[in-house]
Amino acid sequence: MKNLLFLLSAILLMVVLGACSNEEASKGEENKEDAAAAKTEAADESKEVRSALLSYQGEVTKVIRNTEASITAEDQDAAEVAAAFEKDAKAVSVPEELSDYAQDIEASVESLSQYYAKKAELLKAGSEEMAEAEPFKEEYINTMTKVFEDVELSAPVFNSVFH
C-alpha cells in the first residue's frame, strides 16, 4: 500500500511539473514573439524616418540650388535672393517623422539663412571672397551630417550643392 501511494505521489508530482514547464515554455515563446514584433516595428519606423529625411533634404537642396543660381545673377538683388531663400527654406516643413531631429534641422536652416545673408552682403560690397560666409555653410553641413548619421544614413556631399 505504501508503495502504491508513493507511486501515485510520484506520478502526480511529474504531471504538475510537466504542466508548469509547458506554461513557462509558452511564456518564453510569447516573449520571443513580442520581441520580434517590436523589432519589426522599430525597423519600419526607422525606414520611415530615413525616407522622410531624404525627401526633406531633396526639397531643401532644390531651394539651395535655385538660390545659388539666382544670387550671383546680374539682374538679381542678392539681398532679395537671400530673403527669398529664408522664406522658401522655412516653407519646407520638417516632416513629423523627423520630430526628434527638428531642432537640429531648423538650426541648420537658420545657419543657411545667415550664410546667404552674409554672402549677399559681401556680393553687394563687391567682394569675390566669401570666407566670412563659409562658417555658416559649414555649420549647416556639420549639423545635417550629424542628423544623417543619427538615422544611420550616409550624408550627401553637401558641398556639391553650393557653387
DSSP state of 159: G
pLDDT value at 34 more than 60: no
Read off the pTM: 0.73
Q: Is 9 a domain residue?
A: no
Q: Is 28 a domain residue?
A: no
Q: Is 131 a domain residue?
A: yes
Q: Is 1 a domain residue?
A: no
1-32 confidence digits (pLDDT tens): 555 555 555 565 565 555 555 555 555 566 66
Q: Is 4 a domain residue?
A: no
User: Residue 36: what residue type?
Assistant: A
Looking at every residue in the chain, the average pLDDT score rounds to: 83
pLDDT of residue 43: 66
Q: Is 111 a domain residue?
A: yes
Q: Is 136 a domain residue?
A: yes
Average pLDDT (42-65) is 89
Average pLDDT (132-143) is 96
What's the total number of domains in the chain?
1
pLDDT value at 44 more than 70: no
Range of the domain at 53: 47-161
pLDDT value at 40 more than 80: no
CA dist 112 and 81 (Å) reads: 13
Contact, 136 vs 114, CB < 8 A?
Answer: yes
Q: What is the 3-state secondary structure (H, E, C) of 28-95?
A: HHHHHHHHHHHHHHHHHHHHHHHHHHHHHHHHHHHHHHHHHHHHCCCCCCHHHHHHHHHHHHHHCCCC
Q: How confident is the model at residue 33 (pLDDT cuts 50, 70, 90)?
A: low
Contact, 53 vs 151, CB < 8 A?
Answer: yes
Contact, 134 vs 116, CB < 8 A?
Answer: no
DSSP state of 93: P
pLDDT of residue 72: 82
Q: Is 100 a domain residue?
A: yes
